[in-house]
Amino acid sequence: MFYTARPKSKLVRKFISSAIVAVFIAVSFIFGWSVGRKSGTPATTAMEAEGGLVQGKNSPAQYLLQDVNFDLFWEVWDMVKDRYVEQPVFDTQLFYGALTGVVGSLGDPYSVFLDPETTQKFTAELSGVFEGIGAEIGIQKEQLVIIAPLPGTPAEASAVRSGDRIIAIDGQDTRGMPLDIAVSNIRGPKGSTVELTLLREGWDEPRKFPIIRDTINIESVRFEKRKDGLAYLKIVYFNESTPGLFEQAIQQIISQNPKGIILDLRNNPGGFLEVAVSVASAWVPSGEVVVWQEFQGSRKEAFRAQGTARLGDIPTAVLINNGSASASEIVAGALRDHGKGKLIGETTFGKGSVQSFEQLRGGSALKLTIAHWLTPKGQQIEGEGIVPDIAVEMTRDNLDNGEDPQLKKAMELLK
């Protein structure tokens, strides 16, 4: 197996994709998220200035440094229960909303408390089947963006592209909208329509994209033996179906003895850490570091390759772009740092934070950022991404004309 063990009482898995969760009590989460963003981190920083230092620029609000009485929580609880105009207000509604607000106060779009209903949807998506448009979204510079439209989905068919900025969802402005609320608004039952207002680089103004939702079944691995003697291997997502499909692809590659491998990680938004390490282990020698996990206090933990590096001696070109995020950045960084693959394309998304996924009592769950990823040579992924060895841009004209200069460059490299 390629996954972490399932304890009897709870499941803990390190999940590293972009957020793909929905919210239950939106108002509570928005409140907690806003508090977190306004308050900042409880630490004082200093900035250089002529004649001295400017202290306290990022100091927390004064009220955050004061002692509090938890009776205030119950006072607000009771006031909402007694006075809110639309009754009844259920205790469970307030309870789950409060927990959502606790995690939301961190101001981290990837840390989320999930109520039981949302947890069920979340785990269904990780299995590779869910209903929606088939696009991963994330946040860059405080703006919701499309990380990657998944192949064969309504998002791809509607010409949604990696890097598109999401200005509105069904006419609702996304400024300040938490990530999980945006995902919840985009997802929905098969046959229903969601309208995304997108702004793309090079456009003068946003454009509207009505997209009909469908059942999304992610075929995470695709293999093709090319006539030129190269093996083409595309990994769409690092989910529960990936290990078995990847093993089948390895068997075909070895039996056909290709002169080179093109590993396509473009528009791959991520998935499970365990799966990423397993995939990288097909190239990286056993015992070598695939990725470092850096916790608070700069404590590090290494995740090492396991197996026999069966593809390690076959020349490999790795295709990446801005839609390559998280687990795909781990694999790309590991192959580059160990000299097992040349990276071709564009700088990756830069999603290098680590989320643990822990199932809790009552069917709820907590997805919490606990660390950051570093490549084997210590490069931070979060906010920086992986820079290709050979930069090849995919232009709008290329896409419109069905051209793939990145794939062409990989073929030239491996000839």
Per DSSP, 63 falls in state G
Cα–Cα distance measured from residue 136 to residue 191, given in angstroms and rounded to the nearest whole number? 19
CB burial string 342-353: b at 16+ within 10 A, e below: bbbbbbbbbbbb
What backbone phi and psi angles, to 5 degrees, belong to 124? -65, -40
Cα-to-chain-centroid distance, residue 99: 23
Predicted pLDDT of residue 393: 95
What backbone phi and psi angles, to 5 degrees, belong to 161? -130, 155
The question of whether 364 is a catalytic residue gets the answer no
Domains of the chain: 129-217 (2.30.42.10), 221-359+370-414 (3.90.226.10)
List 158, 281, 337, 353, catalytic entry: 337
Predicted pLDDT of residue 62: 81
List 121, 234, 351, 409, catalytic entry: 351
pTM for this predicted structure: 0.69
Identify whether the C-beta of residue 368 lies closer than 8 Å to the C-beta of residue 120: no
Cα–Cα distance measured from residue 292 to residue 275, given in angstroms and rounded to the nearest whole number? 15
The question of whether 164 is a catalytic residue gets the answer no
Beta carbons within 8 Å of 171's beta carbon, 6+ residues apart: 195, 197
**Residue 87 exposure: Cα atoms within 13 Å on the Cβ side:** 8
Identify whether the C-beta of residue 17 lies closer than 8 Å to the C-beta of residue 354: no
pLDDT under 50: residue ranges of the chain: 1-50, 54
The question of whether 326 is a catalytic residue gets the answer yes
Give kind and range of the element (H or E) at residue 355: strand 353-359
List 326, 328, 353, 364, catalytic entry: 326
What's the residue count for the chain? 415
Neighbour count for residue 69 (Cβ, 10 Å): 8
The residues with which 300 forms a beta bridge, in sequence order, are: 294
- How far CA 391 is from CA of 56, 234, 351, 369, 399, in Å, comes to 41, 19, 20, 31, 17
